[in-house]
Amino acid sequence: MISIKTKKEITIMREAGKVLAEIMGKLKEKVKEGITTKELERAAQVLIFNYKAEPAFKGYKGFPNALCASVNSQVVHAAPSNYVLKKGDVLSLDLGIKLNGYFSDMAFTMAIGEVNPETARFIRITRKSLKMAINKAKPGNTFGDIGNTIQRYVEGQGFAVIRDLCGHGIGRNLHEEPQIANYGSRHKGEEIKEGMVFCIEPMTSMGDYRLKKSDDGFGYESKDGSLTCHFEHTLAILNGKASVLTTHICRFN
């Protein structure tokens, strides 16, 4: 069952989203050639502590870290490591926090230094698909409309949407109903209603959409080794439209 949040709950979640966006903005400033993803993990833990929040991912289903740091073919859930970021890499950071009893979740992908024009376009297309999906998130539409919007746009640009992973509801639990696929049919699935809070997170591949488990036992990566991309926002349906909660100083571009 999809829970409906009160305006008071959404106000609390907005604060959690603002804090998360600030943390992600500060993490993004630290990303550079020569840094390890484990160093980004340490920075994330310090920031979460300083904001008096709790890491949402650490300990979740055995995950050992606060931050998911996925590189190149890794699309999501990769554990930070001693891998040294180099020019031309594509890095996806995914972070969740718990603040005042409620969760917030966010992700973005960025290039390390200059990348070839097609890779840069791939990242832009995935980012834009999230914006388009958010515009579809309003009462009367369905979650199928959201998935269909992402799929049609991404595939129309020559890329693939990941089928085995999805967005989700969020609130007092990190993952709540519904599951929100990045593909689907118009007017299918649950109807979007006022007070719903959920995460939309298009995950895409430059090649095949099929995945395999990463060697670390936590991450997922493209089976054919192609580059992947991931963007995510937490949003609430409020006053007849989507209100993005994970926004403040952090920008995707």
> What pTM did the predictor assign?
0.96
Is the Cβ–Cβ distance between 122 and 96 less than 8 Å? no
Count structural domains, the chain. Answer: 1
The verdict on residue 72 lying in a domain is yes
**SS3 at position 28:** helix
The verdict on residue 1 lying in a domain is no
What is the DSSP secondary structure assignment for residue 62, as one 8-state letter?
G
The verdict on residue 252 lying in a domain is no
Helix %, strand %, coil % of the chain (to 5): 30, 30, 40
The pLDDT value recorded for residue 249 is: 44
The pLDDT value recorded for residue 139 is: 98
What is the rounded average pLDDT for all residues in the chain? 96
The pLDDT value recorded for residue 252 is: 44
The verdict on residue 250 lying in a domain is no
Instruction: Indicate if the pLDDT at residue 184 is higher than 60.
Output: yes
% of the chain at pLDDT higher than 90: 97
The verdict on residue 253 lying in a domain is no
Given pLDDT bands bounded at 50, 70 and 90, which one contains residue 248? Answer: low
Instruction: Give the residue-averaged pLDDT of 219-235.
Output: 98
pLDDT digits (tens, 9 = 90+) for 30-59: 999 999 999 999 999 999 999 999 999 999
Instruction: Indicate if the pLDDT at residue 250 is higher than 50.
Output: no
Instruction: Give the residue-averaged pLDDT of 10-17.
Output: 98
Give the CATH number, domain containing residue 128: 3.90.230.10
In terms of phi and psi (left: phi > 0; alpha: psi -120 to 50; beta: otherwise), the region of 48 is alpha
The verdict on residue 207 lying in a domain is yes
Tokens of 12: 């609390």
Instruction: Give the residue-averaged pLDDT of 187-202.
Output: 98
Residue 17 belongs to domain spanning: 7-244
The verdict on residue 249 lying in a domain is no
Nearest residue to 26 (alpha-carbon basis) of 83, 88, 93, 117: 93
Instruction: Give the residue-averaged pLDDT of 150-158.
Output: 98
pLDDT digits (tens, 9 = 90+) for 99-147: 999 999 999 999 999 999 999 999 999 999 999 999 999 999 999 999 9
The verdict on residue 132 lying in a domain is yes
